[in-house]
Amino acid sequence: MIYLDYAASSPLCEEALQTLMTMSRDVYANSNSLHDGGGHASHILERSREFVAESIGGRAEGLFFTSGGTESNLLAIQALAKGLPPERRHILTSVLEHHSVKLAFAGLSALGYEVDYIRPDASGRLTPQQIEPLLRPDTGLVSLQHANSETGLVQDLPGIGAFLHERGILLHTDAVQSFGKIRFSAEELGADAISISAHKVQGPKGVGAVYIRPGVPYVPVHPGSLHERGFRPGTVNVPGIAAFASAAVYTCGQLEERADRYRLLRRHLKERFREFGLSAYVVTDRLPGGEANVLPHIAGCAGLGYEGQYVMLECNRKGICISTGSACSSGQHAVPETLIALGLSEGEGHSFFRISFGPDTTTRHLDLLVRTLHELEQTK
């Protein structure tokens, strides 16, 4: 099998696997228990918190572990919104967001919060110019992705964060896709809350984290919770969290080296597209600015002339795993709103498929993919 869907999930790195096995065998006590076993588990938990917080340049007291990126987004957004003063119940997000963010905002809308949606400019960017017309005196919270899952577009959060903070507005960001792929720190990013996930950085599934800048007001979604300092209920998954910490340290330690390699793979892929005369193209190349500020490991493609689902299935038949976008939205046949917002026609949107690289991806894998796409195009 040739795996080219790392943006959806990644295999455990050896460091995380060994940590998970060791901790699952040796550290099985509840971290809230008062005996020595619980104390040992609590120590491992807090050391893991320090490692993960350090990987995003944050402070350990601001980091809360969750079951993954989706729960991180849901809990962070709702906790920040519930912490807003009564006169600030207008909240904003963008049309580009992950399904979990839209779900969180839908839930808040049902509770009486007023929600508006920001559309990007012609280059796919979310800027203060796009945000300002939607701001009101009662705007209290904005949630914007750091990088898009389908296209890899990275937003200028430091600029947006400074703009919002001047107006007393909080900023949450879904950094699940960018974490471990591009270097950032919590302070430089300018976000008041950050969501990340383990399985995108070669850690285990079922583990994630929310970072809330110390001092930012919030109200836990589940009042009275006894774990994670009241942020989230449920016995803490200490072995999984320790494996997350191992994966974060390992992956972030190789970040620049991997990013350079992924950029070379992107270039190779596009060169092979041209050599084979494929009608497929990388969608970010058609936007003003092109490759600037795009995650190096994602190549969102369109224009082959077939439905993206069909392209994915034909590749799968040849043992090549690609996707048609976010795995959390798979099975939905509508054109992703992300692509519509970027100006793709309905036909181009339906033809979209995503290739994403990982540490085991080689140029040979991409050559086999391009040959498969070429064979497919020849059958038209």
CA 168 to chain centre: 26
218 and 282 share one domain: no
Residue 372: pLDDT band by 50, 70, 90 thresholds? very high
Q: Average the pLDDT over 110-115 and give the result.
A: 96
The three-class DSSP label of residue 205 is: coil
Q: Give the CATH number, domain containing residue 232.
A: 3.40.640.10
Q: Which residues are catalytic?
A: 328
| Total domain count, the chain | 2
Q: What are phi and psi of 41, to 5 degrees?
A: -60, -40
Residues 198, 286 within the same domain? no
Residue bearing the bigger pLDDT, 125 or 61:
61
d(CA 251, CA 295): 15
Domain boundary among 228, 253, 278: 253
Are 155 and 298 found together in one domain? no
Residues 234 and 330 in one domain: no
* Domain membership of residue 360 as a residue range: 2-9+255-378
Q: Are 358 and 136 in contact (CB under 8 A)?
A: no
> Do 71 and 183 have their domain in common?
yes
What is the per-residue pLDDT across 288-327, written as a single tens digit (0 to 9) for each?
Answer: 766 778 999 999 999 998 999 999 999 999 999 999 865 5
Residues 143-176 have pLDDT tens digits of 999 999 999 999 999 999 999 999 999 999 999 9
Q: Kindly state the average pLDDT of the residues 104-123.
A: 94
pLDDT recorded at residue 348 = 86
Phi, psi of 190 (to 5 degrees): 80, 10
User: What's the predicted TM-score (pTM) here?
Assistant: 0.95
What kind and span of H or E run contains 353? strand 353-356
Instruction: Report pLDDT digits (tens) over 31-83.
Output: 999 999 999 999 999 999 999 999 999 999 999 999 999 999 999 999 999 99
232, 318: one domain: no
Q: Are residues 207 and 298 in the same domain?
A: no
> What's the rounded Cα separation, in Å, for the pair 63 and 179?
15
Alpha helices in the chain (DSSP H): 14-26, 36-55, 69-82, 99-110, 128-131, 157-165, 186-189, 238-253, 255-275, 308-317, 337-341, 346-350, 363-378
Using CA atoms, how far apart are residues 29 and 135, in angstroms rounded to an integer? Answer: 48
For residue 336, give the CATH number of its domain: 3.90.1150.10
Provide the H-helix boundaries in 254-362. 255-275, 308-317, 337-341, 346-350
